[in-house]
């Protein structure tokens, strides 16, 4: 919000001034968001008067932030970045929009607290671009929700080949490992009860299996119930649970319950 306010108050000129410069009387402020690698990039752009590096230098000296000698040695890009220093403002008067002395330094400190970066590119009488780069800490994926006893788990859909129900008689033992034969392929099975070390509570003749893959490896994960497909937001488990290699994160379901997300690659290794 503060960046948008700045673009309106400091950037966009009054209609008569814009017209005198050969610009449309109505200014334009843009808000752009996109992915860039492992980051989210947010840009606030305007086609206003830009930031004059000489004015920034003069204000910085007036406010005692730098000496005249120091600002004279700065190139224009570094001089413009002074706007991110605490208490710096070029507004001549305080308004409801800006000039209150709480500004770009707060923006920068907040973004840096999120492990992000903020920078500005500007051209006099052409406009400015404030660019925020934040790490992509959240990811949304499609997952299959399954149930093991009373607990819910999520399996990323990208790792699933198929789901099926089998009978106990469909399970064979090869070299002390339980396997099933699916379309002529021998697939080892993983019983979630045993992997999670939860006590076995009930016997049933029908078993639900989620066939998953990681690279060339495949396995069938045995669960009590298939809930269905859902779009979930991955949340990290935090440092306290870093040792739980079997889970890649967690998600909060619509009813408030937490479902752990299975790390298929770790389970198959």
Q: What does the pLDDT average to over 18-29?
A: 94
- Residue of 104 and 90 predicted with greater confidence: 104
The partner residues of 105 in beta bridges, in order of sequence, read none
Domains in the chain (CATH in brackets) are: 2-136 (3.30.565.10), 139-268 (2.40.50.180)
Given this model, what pLDDT does residue 162 score?
A: 94
Residue 101 has pLDDT above 60, yes or no: no
Given this model, what pLDDT does residue 180 score?
A: 94
Strands 127-135 and 225-234: unpaired
Q: What does the pLDDT average to over 156-165?
A: 92
The partner residues of 167 in beta bridges, in order of sequence, read 206
- Distance between CA 7 and CA 265 in Å, rounded? 47
Given this model, what pLDDT does residue 136 score?
A: 63
pLDDT digit string, tens, across residues 194-224: 888 887 777 777 889 999 998 889 999 999 9
Given this model, what pLDDT does residue 187 score?
A: 94
Given this model, what pLDDT does residue 135 score?
A: 77
pLDDT digit string, tens, across residues 172-192: 999 889 999 998 899 999 998
| Nearest residue to 190 (alpha-carbon basis) of 157, 206, 213 | 213
Given this model, what pLDDT does residue 48 score?
A: 93
């Amino acid at each position: 919000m503060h960046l948008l306010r700045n673009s309106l108050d400091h950037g966009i000129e009054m209609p008569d001034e814009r017209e005198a410069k050969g610009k449309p009387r109505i200014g334009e402020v843009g808000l752009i968001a996109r992915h860039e690698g492992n980051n989210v990039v947010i840009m606030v752009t305007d086609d206003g008067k830009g930031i004059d590096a000489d004015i920034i230098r003069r204000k910085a000296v007036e406010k005692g932030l730098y000496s005249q000698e120091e600002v004279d040695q700065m190139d224009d890009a570094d001089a413009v970045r002074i706007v991110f220093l605490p208490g710096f403002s070029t507004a001549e008067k305080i308004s409801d929009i800006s000039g209150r002395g709480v500004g770009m330094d707060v923006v920068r400190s907040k973004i840096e607290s999120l492990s992000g970066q903020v920078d500005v590119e500007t051209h006099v009488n052409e406009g400015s671009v404030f660019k925020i780069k934040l790490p992509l800490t959240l990811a949304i994926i499609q997952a299959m929700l399954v149930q093991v006893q009373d607990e819910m788990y999520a399996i990323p859909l990208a790792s699933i080949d198929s789901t099926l129900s089998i009978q106990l008689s469909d399970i064979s033992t090869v070299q002390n490992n339980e396997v099933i034969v699916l379309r002529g392929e021998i697939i080892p099975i993983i019983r979630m009860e045993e992997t999670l070390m939860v006590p076995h509570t009930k016997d049933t003749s029908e078993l639900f299996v989620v066939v998953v893959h990681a690279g060339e490896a495949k396995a069938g994960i045995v669960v009590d119930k298939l809930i269905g497909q859902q779009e979930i937001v991955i949340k990290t488990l935090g440092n306290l649970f870093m040792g739980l290699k079997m889970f890649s994160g967690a998600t909060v379901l619509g009813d408030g319950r937490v479902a752990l997300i299975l790390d298929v690659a770790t389970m198959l290794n």
